[in-house]
């Protein structure tokens, strides 16, 4: 029996989602909790990777059991075992061939910035010294909807077979005076892609590069042409979408 587990986490003290030797990861922590209370070795497959220090308002993963179990019971037990910075929202049965990564049709990330020095938000947003030109940044962001190859915003030397992505949403919105968020939705994302996009858009907002130069960076297919990656703490994975058919068990 296959299940999708929906969770959220504060990524501050983790090396990211994926298991890595000698460093705590969200995946490893979740697998240990599942293995402990189910009394059998459980492996989970996530909808994607998150970098060190990146958070998730919603992450999805799948795991298998030999027989059906009470999802309410599993959620309660897991939340009693997991550390305070990881919380399970729900567990749902899915088709036996459903895949948390490959069946996802869209993912949404949100990046938070602020002008305020708020000690309670320092681990969850990027504090900017001055207000950038968000109008110019939004004009540049619209070019991403017309882009297929995102090599300029991909981490170098990865094992990805293609750098093509289909972005369907990319925009900055003001949340309140002094605070903004960049929301981007795509069918898939490359490693470090969102942080590289945000860092390069910030160059537009600071008038260090023009809209035309941003377009040239996109077309260059060269990570060295783009700006520095934005800090990890402002980035959240906010949603992962799936087709209804995989829940028809």
Q: Give me the sign of the Cα torsion angle 127, 180, 111, 193.
A: negative
Percent of the chain exceeding pLDDT 70 equals 99
What is the tens place of the pLDDT at every residue in 53-111?
Answer: 999 999 999 999 998 889 999 999 999 999 999 999 999 999 999 999 999 999 999 99
- Residue 164, pLDDT > 70, answer yes
Average pLDDT, the chain: 95
Q: Is 85 a catalytic residue?
A: no
Mean pLDDT for 198-224 is 97
- Residue 188, pLDDT > 90, answer yes
Percent of the chain exceeding pLDDT 90 equals 94
- Residue 184, pLDDT > 90, answer yes
Q: Give the tokens for residue 135.
A: 């109008």
What is the tens place of the pLDDT at every residue in 107-125?
Answer: 999 999 999 999 989 999 9
CA distance linking residue 222 with residue 200, whole number of Å: 13
Give which of 249, 1, 248, 244 is closest to 103, Cα–Cα. Answer: 244
What is the tens place of the pLDDT at every residue in 135-159?
Answer: 999 999 999 999 999 999 998 766 7
The CA–CA distances, whole Å, from 61 to 2, 43, 139, 238, 243 equal 10, 10, 35, 14, 15
Q: Give the residues across from 185 on adjacent strands.
A: 108, 169
Mean pLDDT for 18-39 is 95
The catalytically annotated residue of 51, 64, 84, 228 is: 51
């Amino acid at each position: 029996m296959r299940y999708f587990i929906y969770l959220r986490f504060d990524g501050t003290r983790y090396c990211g989602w994926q298991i890595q030797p000698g460093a705590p990861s969200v995946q490893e922590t979740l697998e240990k909790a599942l293995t402990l209370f189910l009394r059998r070795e459980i492996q989970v497959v996530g909808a994607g990777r998150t970098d060190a220090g990146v958070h998730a308002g919603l992450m999805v993963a799948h795991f298998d059991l030999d027989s059906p179990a009470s999802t309410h019971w599993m959620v309660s037990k897991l939340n009693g075992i997991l550390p305070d910075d990881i919380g399970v929202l729900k567990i749902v049965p899915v088709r036996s061939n459903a895949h948390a990564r490959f069946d996802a049709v869209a993912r949404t990330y949100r990046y938070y910035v602020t002008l305020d020095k708020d000690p309670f938000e320092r681990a969850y947003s990027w504090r900017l010294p001055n207000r950038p030109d968000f109008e110019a940044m939004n004009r540049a962001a619209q070019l991403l909807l017309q882009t297929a190859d995102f090599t300029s915003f991909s981490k170098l030397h990865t094992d990805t077979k293609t750098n093509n992505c289909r972005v369907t949403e990319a925009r900055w919105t003001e949340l309140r005076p002094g605070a903004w968020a960049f929301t981007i939705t795509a069918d898939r994302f490359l490693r470090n892609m969102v942080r590289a996009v945000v860092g390069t858009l910030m160059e537009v907002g600071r008038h260090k590069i023009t809209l035309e130069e941003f377009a040239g960076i996109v077309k260059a297919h060269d990570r060295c042409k783009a700006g520095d990656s934005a800090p990890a703490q402002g980035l959240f994975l906010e949603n992962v979408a799936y087709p209804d058919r995989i829940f028809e068990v």
